[in-house]
């Protein structure tokens, strides 16, 4: 094939594909084990701040964090963004919202998606709850998505 | 909590899609090899010929434009015997991976040596390209299947030692 | 502290897609120009550092291949950061501070046209809790924009004005990719891409490269008529999880700015690495830039966003008016990660 000025070029698809198996450690391991059981877990720092997703170390002080706290299952949307035309890499095939969700009992928000049906249903401050997959394995996508707590 | 094992690991699949476009010297090289010609480029400063053509002299850091066709025959400068399988390698184990200095080039490149016993391969061995059938040629180095010994006398070490 | 100055800057014309040259072929003229303009012989350059990311073009060890553009014989002292070249410049600055070099060549490149950049950038997310969701760069930026709008710290109109101003100013920049006159009302009428971001709020996809030579003060004064002295340079990073941060402010930029001495004498201009319109508003506030400071006279990343080189280009574009005698004091900012997670501030001044 020729480029605009007649110089030859060749194109070919180039796929970079790999699957890593990552050890998760004790803290994230507890989080993922909780997800497998359809439970949400955070970590509490010495200052009493509850972090979700859980952290091995307090981001403010660097101290290790070892106390686990049940959080959620519902929470509050602290910010959101509406995807009008999802890509193949997005977690839902229909328009949806990304959201930062502060689960009840947590002091931080976690990223996930809200299957609100339409952009007009999204509001910062709205309450959402998780919709779990039929089969859970211990990963963040055991939560298929969140949905408005008041139902669709 | 259930009695099941705690989660110890997760699998994170990754897939990124790119469209790679060979341009400039790379494209020229692929275009020529699709016609059975191997080309390099000569550096205007140090005068060395680099194969495959790469648009730059790594020694001088200047663009290379002068195209030089090199032979499809050359000399094994160094080699190793591979005993572990690898995808896309058509030779049976064990096979020889070698650096081949084509006649006319100043740097060797990686290629396989076949059609002989691994014990026959040595530094200085003269080899020639074994091409795929012409009908299968495309813009790819895979047009050359591997190299085979030619039977010519070996090249003396002094003649290729600076290309190691 | 040794004095260190920018003595030259060169860049490629920024393109949507580089069709004719490989990365090495793109880099050679830029590196040659930066060295030639520096007044320092190539063989005298004490250290070379580059910034790039293999994931951008999908080529493992692309940065090793790029060394072909340097003519690294006899062997040179060389390093690389898998980051924007602004951080390569920081490493080179440290090298000179340590007395291990008196001059350095810094370069950066990115060929994003080969992949799907917003998806590629998902790979910089935490692999346990974020990347598996497939959140792309635009989606995360949109979350930050919504937070800013909710906090009434910005309006969509103000964001559109940033876009219009940037692309209009880019008309004067022969290297800029996306330039022209747009109207705020017209672009606000266009549909959202990922609400609340519209296409104009996002940077273009760009292929390009940039290079800068820095030198210790005594060398800079000998080779350069008007060196742009780095009066301060600092970088800071915030937690990775977007939900752990207040996305409406940039404390890392504020702190880096303070440490770099941004407040002080008045600035003539600031080149801010804000790939999204709303981020310029956050950065202006974090750096407390008065209205008198021209922001991104080059057009900034909204006019050309060569991945891994855009931050280095901000330093170059801030230095250039000083080198040319048009300005006295300038600020350059560079960012990495999603939603302004990590920020570098560099303050430049002529004598």
**C150 and C44 in one domain?**
no
**C287 and C317 in one domain?**
yes
CA distance A89 to chain B (A): 9
Cα separation, C349 vs C229, whole angstroms: 5
**C239 and C97 in one domain?**
no
Residues of A whose CB is below 8 A from C244: 51, 59, 108-109
Residue B1 has pLDDT above 50, yes or no: no
Is residue A5 assigned to a domain? no
Q: Cβ–Cβ of B18/A17 closer than 8 Å? A: no
Summarised one tens digit per residue, pLDDT across range B42-76 is 999 999 999 998 899 999 989 999 999 999 999 99
In this prediction, residues B134-149 reach a mean pLDDT of 96
Q: Is the distance from CB of B40 to CB of B52 less than 8 angstroms?
A: yes
Cα separation, C144 vs C129, whole angstroms: 18
Q: Cβ–Cβ of B10/A36 closer than 8 Å? A: no
Residues of C whose CB is below 8 A from A82: 192, 194-195
Q: Percentage of chain B with pLDDT > 70?
A: 98
- The edge-to-edge listing of strands for the beta sheet with A40-44 is A50-51, A40-44, A67-71
Helix (H) or strand (E) holding B27: helix B24-33
The count of CB pairs under 8 A between chains A and C is 107
The pLDDT score that the predictor gives to residue B115 is 94
> Crossing angle for the helix pair C277-286 and C137-150, nearest 10 degrees?
60
CA distance B43 to chain A (A): 21
Q: Residue written as tokens 């799907």?
A: C116
Q: Cβ–Cβ of B31/A22 closer than 8 Å? A: no
Is residue A100 assigned to a domain? yes
Strand A67-71 with A40-44, pairing = antiparallel
Q: Which of C228, C263, C297 is the last residue of a domain?
A: C228
CA distance A83 to chain C (A): 5
Q: Cβ–Cβ of B58/C72 closer than 8 Å? A: yes
Other CB atoms closer than 10 Å to residue C319's CB: what's the count? Answer: 29
| Residue A4 pLDDT level (bands cut at 50, 70, 90) | very low
Which residues, numbered 33 to 62 in chain A, qualify as contacts with chain B under a Cβ-Cβ cut-off of 8 Å?
33, 36-37
Which residue range is the domain that position C43 belongs to? Answer: 4-115+205-228
**C143 and C37 in one domain?**
no
Considering only alpha carbons, which residue of chain C is nearest residue B65? C25
Residues of B whose CB is below 8 A from A32: 7, 10
Residue B91 has pLDDT above 90, yes or no: no
- Where helices occur in chain C by DSSP H, the ranges are 23-38, 54-57, 62-65, 85-97, 117-120, 137-150, 156-169, 184-188, 217-223, 251-260, 277-286, 310-323
Report the number of distinct structural domains present in chain C.
2
Is residue A1 assigned to a domain? no
Domain of C136: which CATH number? 3.40.47.10
**C-alpha B43, offset from chain centre:** 20
Tell me the whole-structure pTM to 2 decimals: 0.95
Other CB atoms closer than 10 Å to residue B134's CB: what's the count? Answer: 9
Q: Percentage of chain C with pLDDT > 70?
A: 100
**C9 and C63 in one domain?**
yes
**C218 and C73 in one domain?**
yes
Q: Token pair for residue C341?
A: 């997670």
In this prediction, residues B28-55 reach a mean pLDDT of 95
Which residue range is the domain that position A106 belongs to? Answer: 25-148
In this prediction, residues C295-301 reach a mean pLDDT of 98
Q: Is the distance from CB of C229 to CB of C349 less than 8 angstroms?
A: yes
In this prediction, residues A2-20 reach a mean pLDDT of 79
**C61 and C168 in one domain?**
no
Considering only alpha carbons, which residue of chain A is nearest residue B27? A9
Q: Percentage of chain A with pLDDT > 70?
A: 95
Which residues, numbered 74 to 93 in chain A, qualify as contacts with chain C under a Cβ-Cβ cut-off of 8 Å?
78-84, 87, 89-91
Q: Which of C17, C54, C73, C113 to mutate to test the interface with B (most CBs of B within 10 A)?
A: C73
Which domains can be identified in chain B, with CATH numbers? 19-70 (no CATH), 71-164 (2.40.50)
Q: Cβ–Cβ of B56/C69 closer than 8 Å? A: yes
Residue A2 has pLDDT above 50, yes or no: no
Check CB contact of A56 with chain C, cutoff 8 Å.
Answer: no
Poorest-pLDDT segment among A103-112, A142-151, C129-138: A142-151
Q: Cβ–Cβ of A139/B23 closer than 8 Å? A: no
The pLDDT score that the predictor gives to residue C207 is 97
Summarised one tens digit per residue, pLDDT across range B107-138 is 999 999 999 999 999 999 999 999 999 999 99
CA distance readout (Å), A122 to A83, A148, C22, C146 = 12, 9, 46, 12
**C167 and C297 in one domain?**
yes
Q: If you average pLDDT over each of B117-131, C16-30, C55-69, which comes out highest?
A: B117-131
Residue A3 has pLDDT above 50, yes or no: no
Tell me the backbone φ, ψ of residue C137, rounded to 5 degrees. Answer: -65, -40
User: What is the DSSP annotation of C133-165?
Assistant: GT--HHHHHHHHHHHHHHTTS--HHHHHHHHHH
Summarised one tens digit per residue, pLDDT across range C212-261 is 999 999 999 999 999 999 999 999 999 999 999 999 999 999 999 999 99
Residue A5 has pLDDT above 50, yes or no: no
Cα separation, B7 vs C218, whole angstroms: 59
Report the number of distinct structural domains present in chain A.
1
Q: Residue written as tokens 């964001």?
A: C159
Residue B4 has pLDDT above 90, yes or no: no
Summarised one tens digit per residue, pLDDT across range C254-273 is 999 999 999 989 999 999 99
Check CB contact of A146 with chain B, cutoff 8 Å.
Answer: no
Helix, strand, or coil here: A51?
Answer: strand
Q: Is the distance from CB of A65 to CB of A34 less than 8 angstroms?
A: no
Average pLDDT over chain B, rounded to whole?
A: 93
- The edge-to-edge listing of strands for the beta sheet with C4-11 is C78-81, C47-51, C103-111, C207-216, C4-11, C228-237, C342-349, C329-336, C269-271, C294-295
| Residue A124 pLDDT level (bands cut at 50, 70, 90) | very high
Residues of C whose CB is below 8 A from B14: 123
The count of CB pairs under 8 A between chains A and B is 82
CA distance A151 to chain C (A): 23
Summarised one tens digit per residue, pLDDT across range C184-199 is 999 999 999 999 999 9
Strand A96-103 with A75-83, pairing = antiparallel
Is residue A13 assigned to a domain? no
Cα separation, A59 vs C10, whole angstroms: 39
Is residue A102 assigned to a domain? yes
Is residue A7 assigned to a domain? no
- Where helices occur in chain A by DSSP H, the ranges are 25-36
Considering only alpha carbons, which residue of chain B is nearest residue C65? B58
Q: How far is the first Cα of chain B from the last one, in angstroms, to the nearest whole number?
A: 63
Residues of B whose CB is below 8 A from C32: 61-62
**C235 and C89 in one domain?**
no
CA distance C72 to chain B (A): 6
Summarised one tens digit per residue, pLDDT across range C91-145 is 999 999 999 999 999 999 999 999 999 999 999 999 999 999 999 999 999 999 9
Residue C205 has pLDDT above 50, yes or no: yes
Q: Cβ–Cβ of B10/A11 closer than 8 Å? A: no
Residues of B whose CB is below 8 A from C116: 16-17
**C212 and C90 in one domain?**
yes
**C245 and C304 in one domain?**
yes
Q: Which of A13, A23, A33 sits opposite B17 (nearest CB)?
A: A13
């Amino acid at each position: 094939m020729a480029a605009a000025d007649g110089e030859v070029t060749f194109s070919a698809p180039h796929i970079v594909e790999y699957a890593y198996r990552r050890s998760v450690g004790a803290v994230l391991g507890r989080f993922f084990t909780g997800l497998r059981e359809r439970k949400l877990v955070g970590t509490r720092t010495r200052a009493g701040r509850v972090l979700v997703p859980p952290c091995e170390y307090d981001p403010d002080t660097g101290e290790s964090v070892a106390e686990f706290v049940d959080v959620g299952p519902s929470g509050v949307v602290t910010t959101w963004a509406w995807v009008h035309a999802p890509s193949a890499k997005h977690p839902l095939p229909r328009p949806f919202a990304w959201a930062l969700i502060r689960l009840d009992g947590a002091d931080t928000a976690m990223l996930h998606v809200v299957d609100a049906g339409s952009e007009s249903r999204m509001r910062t401050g709205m309450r959402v709850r998780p919709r779990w997959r039929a089969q859970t394995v211990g990963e963040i996508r055991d939560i298929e998505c969140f949905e408005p707590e008041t139902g669709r | 909590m259930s009695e099941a094992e705690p989660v110890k690991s997760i699998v994170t699949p990754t897939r990124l899609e790119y469209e790679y476009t060979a341009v400039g010297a790379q494209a020229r090289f692929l275009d020529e090899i699709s016609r059975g010609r191997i080309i390099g480029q000569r550096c205007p400063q140090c005068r060395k010929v680099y194969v495959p053509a790469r648009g730059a002299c790594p020694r001088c850091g200047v663009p290379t434009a002068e195209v030089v066709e090199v032979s499809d025959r050359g000399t094994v400068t160094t080699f190793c015997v591979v005993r572990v399988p690898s995808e896309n390698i058509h030779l049976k184990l064990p096979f020889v991976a070698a650096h081949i200095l084509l006649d006319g080039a100043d740097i060797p490149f990686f290629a396989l040596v076949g059609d002989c016993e691994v014990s026959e391969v040595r530094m200085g061995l003269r080899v020639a390209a074994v091409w795929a059938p012409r009908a299968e040629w495309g813009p790819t180095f895979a047009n050359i299947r591997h190299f085979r010994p030619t039977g010519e006398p070996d090249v003396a070490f002094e003649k290729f030692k600076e290309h190691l | 502290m040794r004095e260190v100055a920018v003595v030259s800057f060169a860049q490629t014309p920024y393109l949507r897609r580089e069709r004719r040259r490989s990365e090495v072929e793109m880099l050679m003229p830029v590196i040659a120009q930066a060295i030639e303009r520096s007044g320092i012989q190539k063989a005298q350059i004490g250290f070379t550092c580059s910034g790039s990311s293999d994931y951008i073009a999908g080529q493992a060890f692309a940065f090793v291949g790029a060394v072909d553009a340097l003519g690294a014989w006899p062997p040179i002292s060389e390093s690389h950061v898998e980051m924007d070249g602004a951080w390569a410049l920081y490493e080179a600055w440290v090298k000179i501070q340590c007395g291990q070099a008196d001059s350095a060549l810094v370069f950066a490149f990115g060929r994003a046209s080969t992949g799907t950049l917003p998806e590629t950038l998902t790979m910089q997310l935490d692999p346990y809790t974020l990347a598996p969701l497939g959140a792309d760069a635009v989606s995360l930026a949109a979350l930050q924009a919504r937070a800013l709008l909710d906090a009434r710290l910005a309006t969509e109109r103000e964001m559109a004005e940033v876009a219009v101003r940037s692309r209009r100013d880019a008309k004067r920049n022969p290297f800029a990719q996306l330039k022209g006159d747009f109207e705020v009302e017209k672009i606000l009428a266009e549909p959202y891409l990922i609400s609340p971001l519209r296409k104009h709020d996002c940077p273009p996809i760009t292929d390009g490269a940039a290079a800068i030579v820095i030198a210790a003060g005594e060398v800079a004064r000998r080779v350069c008529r008007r060196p742009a002295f780095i009066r301060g340079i600092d970088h800071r990073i915030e937690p990775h999880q977007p939900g752990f941060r207040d996305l409406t402010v940039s404390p890392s930029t504020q702190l880096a700015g303070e440490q770099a001495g941004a407040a002080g004498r008045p600035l003539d201009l600031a080149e801010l690495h804000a790939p999204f319109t709303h981020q310029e508003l956050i950065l202006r506030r974090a750096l407390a830039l008065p209205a008198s400071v021209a922001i991104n006279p080059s057009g900034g990343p909204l006019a050309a966003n060569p991945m891994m080189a855009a931050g280095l280009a901000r330093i170059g574009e801030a230095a250039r008016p000083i080198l040319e005698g048009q300005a006295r004091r300038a600020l350059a900012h560079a960012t990495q990660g999603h939603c302004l997670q990590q920020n570098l501030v560099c303050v430049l001044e002529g004598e």
